[in-house]
Structure formats: C-alpha cells, structure tokens
C-alpha cells in the first residue's frame, strides 16, 4: 500500500467502519473502501497544468479573466492551508478560476468536481494533470462518505482544496444553499492554520446559459459529452468577461467538526461572504429590471433604483448608473438572441434566459439573503 492508503485506513472513522460500525466487516468492507479510494485518487502534474491553456485556447480566448482582491488569496496561500469555496456558474469555472490563481503565482489547488466530468479524455486530464478529484454527489453510501472524508483529510495535509459548496452549477441562476459534506471533511482534517477563502465567480454571459435556463432545476445527470456538444454550439460568437473575486480568510477556530449545527453555521457563513463578493454586472442588472416590453428610459430608471438598494447592502458593483448598465448589456443580449431592440424599446425574446441572469442578484435583493 502507498502512504495515503495506509493513512486513510488508519483513520479512526475508517477503522470503525472496517470493524463493522455499519454492518459490513472483513475483506468485503476493506475492498469497498480501497475501491472508492482508487476512484478518488488524483495526481496534479503542475509542469503540465499551464500547458493546458494552449489546447483550450479556442474557448479561453473568448473569456477575459479579471481577478479581484487577489492579494487576499496570495497572503492566505503564503500563511495558511487554504480551502477555496466558490459559487458555481459554468463548466468553464474549472478552467478560469485556477488560472486566475496561477496568474498570481499561486500553485493551483486540488479541485473537487462532479464525477460526470471524468469520462473519456477529459477525465484523464482531470485525474492525471489538473489534479481534480471526482465527487459522487447525493450518495448516502456510508462506505463512500467515510472514505471521502478520510481522503480529503489526508489530502489537506499537503494540498490546498478548491470546491463548490453548491454542488453542481446553478440551473436557476440563484446562489444555492451550501452542501456541508466537504466542510465537515475539512474540519475533521484538523489541519493547523486551515482557513476557508470565500471566492465568487461572475460572467457577463455564461456560456451554457440557454442550456441551464431551459431546465431551471437539475432533474437528472446528463452525459457530459452531450452537454459539451451543446456548449460548442452556443460558443459561436461568444465573448465574455469573468470576474473572480476573493474575500477575507475565515478561520475554522471555534467550529466543532462533530456538531452538525456548527458545520452548517460555517457553510452559511462562507455562503454569505461569497454572496457579498459576487460581482454585480450590467447583464444581471438589465435582466433583473427588465419587463416583457419596456422603453430605454424606463429601464434605466428601474436599474438606478435597484443600484440604490444594492449600494445599501455593500454589493460589489461593476457599474454605478442605469445608463451605463444598459449601454453595456444591450448589445451582448441582442447578439445572444435574448432580447430584441425596436427603436427605443426593448422586448424579451428568451424569457427563461433573462430570468436566469436576473436571479443571480436575488441573494442581494431579499432582506434575509435567501433565494426563492
């Protein structure tokens, strides 16, 4: 056995499972743990990581990367073991967020990604170059959950971790409630000086906006190859900025890994911080203020009113006036086929897509920061 396998098998919670805490003992229990461990195992080859930018250039050149508060990430990585916790908008998040870290000279962390992304050539790249770790979401298999928690605990002894507390991408556009599994695993690792770094990612245009908004709620796992084919179709003419904004590190001191309430409190604290960091872009303002048919002046007035509300919450604004927001958003929305411009009037063409962008501000506009 290699070092990490021995370490995982020696952890208290795994040892209890192997001893029959969940009704399975002996060789069968051991084989289940080792099989899941092999599935989770990942290798990051940093010397090859940056080279990935070149074969991915056709899509990456369409996305202008803008990092905000990057010094916070630099300082955190220098002084702590870091768990980056980000909202999840697009499959391109896995590409652009680690590259923003790398642009700043920060070694890319291990990324926790859905297991559906690990088929075919892309899966080999994730497993053997980028260092992505496949996660089985929504499983209740005790053997898997115990192995995952133990593996993450051992991983954090030597690596930083980047994960998406929402689980999958937001299909509705809203900032979703956090899942607590990896928060619990990180706390159980008991790594000295570990911190969570809230991270927010926001796009002028999300590459798969039409695909996500059509479903609204994820009802089943679709094959990634099918999703990729659709994304290629919507990539024609696509260009966008992406803002990756880092917050202040959140210490784990005072949070009890054995208390579900304490773990949930940490997850919600990180979610609130991520929500405040989220860049309020012109397209989101336009979409949240739009009506089925509205004049330019009416829309500007509605956005100005919304901006007043957002300023009061300390939102991270990209523009300060409704006029600037409309000027920046109208052309990309028209080009993408989301709205129609008729003289001085805007009409909705793709209602679901427009709502998808508008809902991205819901957590900032509701009094308790919740989504509906």
Fold of 280-365: Arc Repressor Mutant, subunit A (1.10.10)
pLDDT of residue 232: 63
Q: What is the pLDDT of residues 166-194, one digit of tens each?
A: 998 899 999 999 999 999 999 999 899 99
- Write the pLDDT tens digit of every residue in 32-80: 999 999 888 877 666 666 666 666 667 778 899 999 999 999 999 999 9
Answer yes or no: are the C-beta atoms of 175 and 278 closer than 8 Å: yes
Rounded to two decimals, the pTM is 0.89
With a cut of 80, say whether residue 299 has pLDDT above it: yes
How high does pLDDT run on average in the chain? 88
* pLDDT over 70 percentage in the chain: 85
Distance separating alpha carbons of residues 265 and 259, to the nearest angstrom:
10
How far separated are the first and last CA of the chain, in Å rounded?
49
Q: Give the Cα separation of 320 and 311 in Å (integer).
A: 9
- As a whole number of angstroms, the distance between CA 64 and CA 240 comes to 6
| Best CA proximity match to 290, nearest among 242, 243, 338, 336 | 338
Q: Higher model confidence: residue 27 or residue 130?
A: 27
pLDDT of res. 227: 62
Indicate the class that CATH gives domain 5-277: alpha beta
Directed axis angle between helix 282-289 and helix 296-312, to 10°?
Answer: 110
Q: How confident is the model at residue 138 (pLDDT cuts 50, 70, 90)?
A: confident
Asked if residues 156 and 186 have their Cβ atoms less than 8 Å apart, the reply is yes
Domain boundaries, the chain: 5-277, 280-365
């Amino acid at each position: 056995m290699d070092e990490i396998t021995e370490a995982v098998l020696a952890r208290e919670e795994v040892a209890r499972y192997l001893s029959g805490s969940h009704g399975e003992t002996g060789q069968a229990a051991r084989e289940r743990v080792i099989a899941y461990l092999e599935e989770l195992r990942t290798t990051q080859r940093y010397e090859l990581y940056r080279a990935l930018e070149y074969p991915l250039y056709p899509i990456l050149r369409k996305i202008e990367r803008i990092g905000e508060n990057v010094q916070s990430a630099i300082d955190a990585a220098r002084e702590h073991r870091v768990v980056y916790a980000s909202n999840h908008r697009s499959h391109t998040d896995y590409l652009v967020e680690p590259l923003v870290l790398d642009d700043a000279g920060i070694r890319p962390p291990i990324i926790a990604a859905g297991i559906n992304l690990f088929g075919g050539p892309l899966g080999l790249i994730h497993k053997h170059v980028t260092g992505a770790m496949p996660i089985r979401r929504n499983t209740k298999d005790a053997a898997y959950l115990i192995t995952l928690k133990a593996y993450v605990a051992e991983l954090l002894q030597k690596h930083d971790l980047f994960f998406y507390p929402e689980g999958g991408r937001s299909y509705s556009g809203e900032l979703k409630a956090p899942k607590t599994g990896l928060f619990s695993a990180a706390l159980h690792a008991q790594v000295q000086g570990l911190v969570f770094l809230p991270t927010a990612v926001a796009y002028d245009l999300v590459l798969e906006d039409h695909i996500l908004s059509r479903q609204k709620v994820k009802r089943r796992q679709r094959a990634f190859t099918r999703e990729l084919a659709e994304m290629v179709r919507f990539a024609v003419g696509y260009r966008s900025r992406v803002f990756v904004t880092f917050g202040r590190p959140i210490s784990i001191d005072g949070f009890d890994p054995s208390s579900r309430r304490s773990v949930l409190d940490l997850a919600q604290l990180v979610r609130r911080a991520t929500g405040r960091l989220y860049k309020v872009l012109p397209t989101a303002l336009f979409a949240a203020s739009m009506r089925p048919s509205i004049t330019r002046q009416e829309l500007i007035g509605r956005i100005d009113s919304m901006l007043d509300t957002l300023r009061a919450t300390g939102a991270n604004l990209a523009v300060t006036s409704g006029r600037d927001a409309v000027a920046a958003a109208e052309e990309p929305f028209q080009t993408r086929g989301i709205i129609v411009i008729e003289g001085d009037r805007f009409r909705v063409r793709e209602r679901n897509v427009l709502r998808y962008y508008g809902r991205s501000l819901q957590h900032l506009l509701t009094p308790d920061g919740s989504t509906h």
